[in-house]
Amino acid sequence: MVDYEIFELGEVRLQMGETLRDAKLAYRTYGSLNQAKSNAIVYPTWYSGQHYDNEWLIGEGMALDPAHHCIIVPNMLGNGLSSSPSNTPPPFDRARFPHVTVHDNVSVQHRLVTEQFGIQRLQLVTGWSMGAGQTYQWALSYPEMVPRILPFCGSAKTSRHNFVFLEGVKAALTADAAFQEGWYDQPPTKGLRAMARVYAGWGYSQAFYWEELYSQLGYSSLEDFLVGFWEGFFLQKDANNLLTMLWTWQHGDLGATPGFNGDLERALGAIRAKAIVMPAEKDLYFPPEDNAYEVRHMPNAELRVIPGVWGHFAGGGVNPTDTKFIDDSLKELLAQEV
Amino acid sequence: MVDYEIFELGEVRLQMGETLRDAKLAYRTYGSLNQAKSNAIVYPTWYSGQHYDNEWLIGEGMALDPAHHCIIVPNMLGNGLSSSPSNTPPPFDRARFPHVTVHDNVSVQHRLVTEQFGIQRLQLVTGWSMGAGQTYQWALSYPEMVPRILPFCGSAKTSRHNFVFLEGVKAALTADAAFQEGWYDQPPTKGLRAMARVYAGWGYSQAFYWEELYSQLGYSSLEDFLVGFWEGFFLQKDANNLLTMLWTWQHGDLGATPGFNGDLERALGAIRAKAIVMPAEKDLYFPPEDNAYEVRHMPNAELRVIPGVWGHFAGGGVNPTDTKFIDDSLKELLAQEV
């Protein structure tokens, strides 16, 4: 009784050298593939999100309309549905789950799209946050397949500051002795709650809190928001899974794609897709200037800032204004000839 | 063999209702009080800072010149030198140390200045971060004594977002089981290190990390900076002291001054001192817009933003450009007739 499919990957050799055996890629599709297999969109997940967390941007009358498109949402490795520390049998389970890169994720997604669906060309790749990182990777690795990209609130390479923010998240989670270096049998709830509180200050902007906009999300006070939204979200997650995805995020680097020798600017320059790159005005860990730098090195890209005070969560589907702004841009991009 | 003096406060009734008995206020003076007792400046400390951490802004040829002024640096309650969880005997020691407000701090500093030194009027009050909060309080509580203030990188009331940032710091520190709800005999080093890593992303701006400016501070890599600067700083501190000052910070509210009934705008409006209010352009927890709001309600204040990418630490004395900018403004303010 699950709402997703599993694509059996078999043995996956990872960029960092280890092998995932009997690997699984969980995914869901929205809408049907047409006869020409020309209406597919790939929309990867984000840090700890699962496919259903992407559904706010999919719907009738929206850019990502299942009546017109086949929207494929692949779950990131480590997110608890695809192969993850929490669902991999020994000996590669829990604290021994291997390091997975953005490149690895996109590589297995490409297998899904080509082997399972026989698709040769997509309409678009889009994604939020770590999903944006995967979007850049799709465009670089499979230029002939990806004519359009719309990465939002993410980056091609994780900045040093973003890395430091994640160090804080990781340190809070792993400070809990119950974490037991990953060998817990009971979840390290104190660490998960601590990580949630650390995350809370980063996820939304200073102005969001100043204006008490959490009340628009149904929370009756600041503490209600910290417990109800933030702790509630991370308490559902597996600590090792979170750390696997955190490692993927911290080491996100488009320049590390084989053939580019760490040269990020050359990698950005090799993206042929028509791109609208959309940071949020007050995103505290993916600030607009980082995307501005990227766009300067991309031959076919526009920087379009999502205005307002919702910070990183401008791309999280939590308010209709930002959702419409993103959806309108997706419509515009999809309407363009490429 | 200490470089500071102790002012014996005796019994101090605190704003929240508890009493500090046999309380101590540690302070240091730089320069001599003149015969007219008219050349004193008060320069309070900041979160976990001690008097010597303020010395970068004091010196020959600077605005705060010991040859001309008597600069009094009082240590905040809870900072390990003034009465603190770490130096108070039972039963009010460690986890039982009472809650102390900004108002309490300034109240005992006022006793030092008037009872110990017999000063009736100061030249100036200035301070960084929590020191800025104490600066506003001085101006409101003792308007006849304080003709000029220059609060930098701080605020009159702790904003909700700032509160949330501190929730993350606190959660990381207290997630360590070794903290034992404050009854540790050995320091909770894992929690202290975790808190340091959380703090690291907040203390300096995104652009500071992008430009690797920690190399200008003598650190050879990002990890070297995280361990050497951040963990090194907090490992020296006592966890209960840090939590005492954190509580003071989280509950900073000029509007809670007796007589103002929580009305922050009325409190700001009652500040008579000539003020230059100086946020740092990229301060992540005291953003300039918060000070802009305050200045709109202060009758005699100018907002002057410290430009650049050093974030909160623009006010920490770690780079000569920002130090000169602050020092120049102090000189300008001190030169003005009031």
What residues contact residue A215 under an 8 Å CB cut-off, 6+ apart?
none
- Residue to mutate among B192, B198, B224, with most A CBs inside 10 A, is B198
Q: Which two tokens stand for residue B9?
A: 């406060």
Name the residue among B168, B206, B210 with its Cβ closest to that of A197: B168
Residue B26 β-bridge partners: B6
Report how far residue B253's alpha carbon sits from residue B264's, in angstroms, rounded to the nearest whole number.
7
Q: Could you tell me what percent of chain B has a pLDDT over 70? A: 100
Cα-Cα-Cα-Cα dihedral of A281, A287, A293, A295, to 10°?
-50
DSSP code of residue B204: S
Asked whether the beta carbons of residue B212 and residue A172 sit closer than 8 angstroms, the reply is: no
Give the start-end residues of each E strand in chain A: 5-13, 19-30, 40-42, 70-74, 124-128, 148-152, 274-277, 301-303
Average pLDDT per consecutive 10 residues, chain B (338 residues; last block may be shorter) = 95 97 98 98 98 98 98 98 98 98 98 98 98 98 98 98 98 98 98 98 98 98 98 98 98 97 98 98 98 98 98 97 98 96
As annotated, the active-site residues of A are 129, 283, 312
Starting at the earlier edge strand, list the strands of the sheet with A19-30.
A5-13, A19-30, A70-74, A40-42, A124-128, A148-152, A274-277, A301-303
As annotated, the active-site residues of B are 129, 283, 312
Report how far residue A315's alpha carbon sits from residue A310's, in angstroms, rounded to the nearest whole number.
9
Cβ neighbours around B10 below 10 Å, total: 10
Instruction: Give contacts of B210 with chain A, Cβ < 8 Å.
Output: 159-161, 290
Asked whether the beta carbons of residue A175 and residue B175 sit closer than 8 angstroms, the reply is: yes
Average pLDDT per consecutive 10 residues, chain A (338 residues; last block may be shorter) = 95 97 98 98 98 98 98 98 98 98 98 98 98 98 98 98 98 98 98 98 98 98 98 98 98 97 98 98 98 98 98 97 98 96
B41-79 pLDDT tens trace: 999 999 999 999 999 999 999 999 999 999 999 999 999
What residues contact residue B89 under an 8 Å CB cut-off, 6+ apart?
none
Q: Are strands A40-42 and A19-30 parallel, antiparallel or unpaired?
A: unpaired
The pLDDT of residue B310 is 98
A228 in reach of chain B (CB within 8 A): no
The pLDDT of residue B103 is 98
A5-26 pLDDT tens trace: 999 999 999 999 999 999 999 9
Residue with tokens 């980063």: A202
A89 CA: distance to closest CA in chain B (Å):
29
pTM above 0.90, yes or no: yes
B254 CA: distance to closest CA in chain A (Å):
17
Q: Which two tokens stand for residue B253?
A: 């509210």
Name the residue among B167, B178, B198 with its Cβ closest to that of A171: B198
